Amino acid sequence: MQRPTWATVVGVLGILFGVFGVLNAIQSVALPFFFELQERVFDTVKDQAYNDPGAPVALIEMIDDMFDLSGWQKLWFMLTGFIALIINGFYLYAAIILLQVRQSAIRTIYIVLWVSIMFALIQGLVGLSMSTLLGFGIMIGSLFSIALDAILLIVVSSADKSAFRKPPQPLTATT
Give me the residue spans of the domains in the chain. Answer: 9-161
| Closest-CA residue to 11 (of 79, 109, 117, 103) | 109
The tens digit of pLDDT for each residue in 16-37 reads 999 999 999 998 888 878 777 7
49-54: average pLDDT = 67
pLDDT of res. 76: 85
The pTM (predicted TM-score) of the whole model is 0.79
Return d(Cα 92, Cα 108) in angstroms, integer. 11
pLDDT of res. 12: 96
95 phi/psi in degrees, rounded to 5: -65, -40
Q: Cβ distance 84 to 119 under 8 Å?
A: yes
The tens digit of pLDDT for each residue in 64-117 reads 666 666 778 778 888 999 999 999 999 999 999 999 999 999 999 999 999 999
pLDDT of res. 72: 80
